[in-house]
A and B are shown apart, each in its own frame.
Chain A
Amino acid sequence: MRRLLKIAFAGVVLAGCGADERPMVVITPDGVTTEIAACGTGCSGPTADELHHLSDTDIATFLVEVDAAPIASPTLALESLLFYGADTRGYLSRNDTSAFDAAKIAWLRAELERDEVTVTMRLVDDEGEVRGSLEQRVPMAEKQHLKMDDTGTLGRLAINGKVKRVGVDHLWARF
């Protein structure tokens, strides 16, 4: 799936929306140029789990389903608990889980502690040449300003956004 990113590219230096840098300039293929302001409402905007919370009742129901399935099975119940990680962690810290399989609860607790992700990106032109790349380990679900510095004459590329865990093997990225 491809979509047209409204990220930026300007001639010499690309800057993110950090206060110490120039405003990011976006040039879309149709020639429209826009300066991005208030990036806190854009790519770093809240995810559903920050706007709505999973109730204790729902968490308890999901835990029963997770307990009945093989460990690490990517069921809706398990992935909901991972997506609403903060709510799930809070529930596990407040409630007795001894009725559940200890190994499954231990696995779930460990998964909920995985709060960092390595983001690797590269920019490939239509001739297959890699024009820039970056690799950085970042905290999950926090806005990041990543920079691609090896872009030669293209100038530095700033890529801003964040990553959110949404399942056993899947993450969301919005940059």
Chain B
Amino acid sequence: MAAGPWFTVNDSSAGWTDFGQVWLSDGTSAGEAATLQIQLTLAPHRAAEVALNVP
């Protein structure tokens, strides 16, 4: 399978991005369309995470 194109997504706060349309079918019916939505959130700096975990 050839590699598909990359899809550019904003980091975190942009909310849901429509990633593509997926066809749902059990193989016995015509099926139905659905939309796959995505959010990507870059993990914070490790130092920030450590700081947040300090009591």
Which residues of A come within 8 Å of B, CB atoms?
1-7, 9-12, 27-29, 34, 36-39, 41-43, 45, 47, 110-111, 113-126, 131, 137, 154, 159, 163-166, 169-175
Of B2, B22, B39, B42, which is within 8 A of A7 by CB? Answer: B22
A118 near B43 with CB under 8 A, answer yes
B37 near A41 with CB under 8 A, answer no
**Shortest CB–CB separation between residue A83 and chain B, in angstroms?**
12
Q: CA of A47 to CA of B32 in the docked complex: distance in angstroms? A: 33
Q: CA of A154 to CA of B37 in the docked complex: distance in angstroms? A: 17
Q: CA of A166 to CA of B10 in the docked complex: distance in angstroms? A: 10
From B34, which residue of chain A is reached at the shortest CB distance? A125
Residues of chain A within 8 A (CB-CB) of B24 are 9, 125, 131, 154
B22 near A172 with CB under 8 A, answer no
B5 near A5 with CB under 8 A, answer no
From B7, which residue of chain A is reached at the shortest CB distance? A173
